Amino acid sequence: MTPTTVHIKGDNDLSHLILERLKHLDSLARTVIYSPSRHHHLPQKLFPATLAGLINLKDHITPPQWYAARNAAWSPLSETPENTDEPLIDCTQAGVRIKLQMDSRPDSTYTIRTAADIETVIPWFRISPAFLVENLSASSLQLAFVLAKAGKRIFIPAHPTPIIHPDADSDAQALIRKIACEYGIELTEKTDIYPRLSVEEDSQRYLITGPVKACDAILKLLAPVNQGNELCIVNLGNSSAHYLLPPHGKPGGETIMVSSTPDNILRKIWINNNRITGFILIGDISGSDTLAALCRNQTDIRQIRDHLLHSA
Cβ distance 49 to 6 under 8 Å? no
- Statement to judge: residues 85 and 217 lie in one domain: yes
- Statement to judge: residues 11 and 88 lie in one domain: yes
Q: How many domains are contained in the chain?
A: 3
pLDDT in tens, 55-100: 999 899 988 898 888 889 989 999 999 888 899 999 888 778 899 9
Calpha distance 199→255 (Å, rounded): 30
CATH number of domain containing 253:
3.30.390.30
**164, part of any domain:** yes
Element (H, E) at 258: strand 254-260
- Statement to judge: residues 65 and 209 lie in one domain: yes
Q: Confidence band (pLDDT; 50, 70, 90) for 245?
A: confident
Instruction: Provide the pLDDT for residue 211.
Output: 85
Instruction: Provide the pLDDT for residue 60.
Output: 92
Query: Which range marks the domain in which residue 15 is found?
Result: 4-92+204-226
Cβ distance 50 to 101 under 8 Å? no
3-state secondary structure of 4: strand
Is the pLDDT assigned to residue 224 strictly greater than 70?
no
- Statement to judge: residues 9 and 88 lie in one domain: yes
Q: Confidence band (pLDDT; 50, 70, 90) for 227?
A: low
- Statement to judge: residues 193 and 100 lie in one domain: yes
pLDDT in tens, 141-182: 999 999 999 999 999 988 766 777 766 778 888 899 999 999
Instruction: Provide the pLDDT for residue 197.
Output: 93
Over the chain, what is the mean pLDDT?
A: 87
**157, part of any domain:** yes
